[in-house]
Amino acid sequence: MTGQGKSAIDTLLAESFKELAAKQPIEKITIKEITDKAGVIRPTFYNHFQDKYELLEWIIKTQLLEPIEPLVQNGMINEALVLLFTSIEREREFYTRASRLEGQNSFESIARDCVEQVLLKVVKKSEAAKPQKYVWLTPERISKYYAQSMCYVVITWIQEGMSISGRELAEIYDYIINRSMEDILNGM
């Protein structure tokens, strides 16, 4: 199958999954329901994904993170945050349901791993041009730190009903990550 054909099937399965998730808890969605809605046979699903959690990972990577990666790599962090948060906001019902996934395949762990991978690429690219000031501060630790903080902010925002806009959340997150705790406490 060509890359385009695979991508089209992946997208079809993802859209099916998201439509089903808008109506029922993700834990209860079966592969058969996803494939029936997509109009493909079950083996097609397994040719593309191991399970629905891998499909969720694909959605996060390709629909949320891939579009923002070039912005992050070019230092356009605020623009990347606005795009990320408004994309989540547009599919509010899906991400609200997804954020409720707990346990081994929790939304938090899947999202955090995906964000960490993107940030690791960016940090390693940036690190290559500069001498390392602190040996302990590795690209892996930096990417893990920022992935955890971003996922905490995003999941809290989703689970609290997205009471502020994605743009406003981007401003708040940008404010927090660009200041020390002392600056924030003094500015309150």
Domain holding 23: CATH number? 1.10.10.60
Least confident of 14-28, 62-76, 119-133: 119-133
Number of domains in the chain: 2
Which helix H or strand E contains 84, and what residues bound it?
helix 77-90
**Rounded CA separation 55/50 (Å):** 8
Burial 61-76 (b: 16+ CB within 10 A, else e): bebbbeebeebbeeee
Round to whole Å and give the CA distance between 139 and 64.
22
Greater model confidence, 85 or 184: 85
Residues 86 and 175 grouped into a single domain:
yes
Does residue 109 sit in the same domain as residue 177? yes
Q: Give the model's pLDDT for residue 129.
A: 65
Query: Are residues 22 and 101 both part of a single domain?
Result: no
In this structure, are 72 and 98 located in the same domain?
A: yes
Q: Same domain, yes or no, for 60 and 152?
A: yes
- Structural domain range at position 156: 52-187
Q: Which tens digit of pLDDT belongs to each residue from 161-183?
A: 999 999 999 999 999 999 999 99
Pair 75, 105 in one domain: yes
In this prediction, residue 113 carries a pLDDT of: 97
One domain for residues 116 and 177: yes
Residue 171 and residue 113 share a domain: yes
